[in-house]
Amino acid sequence: MEKTKPQGFLQKKIGSTIYKVNMYFENANHETLDDKILRLIKNDLNFTSKDATLSLPQTGRLSEGSSL
């Protein structure tokens, strides 16, 4: 197996432990960033339960037309 150099890394400290994650990218992949984001969104939507509902964020203001 050929050892390749990472093309980047992320570093995150959690508590007293520092985690370093190396990133590798496949050059043969022709998927654009937009394609990848759309694919991830579609996968998320397909993964959710059919009974799942999307909720709106709560704000301090009532929506227009509401009566309270």
The predicted structure's pLDDT at residue 21: 92
Q: What pTM did the predictor assign?
A: 0.35
Phi, psi of 26 (to 5 degrees): -90, 120
Percent of the chain residues past pLDDT 70, beyond the cut: 65
Of 11, 13, 31, 29, whose CA–CA distance to 21 is shortest?
Answer: 11
Which tens digit of pLDDT belongs to each residue from 11-34?
999 999 999 999 887 777 788 888
On average, the pLDDT of the chain sits at 76
pLDDT value for 55: 59
pLDDT at 46: 77
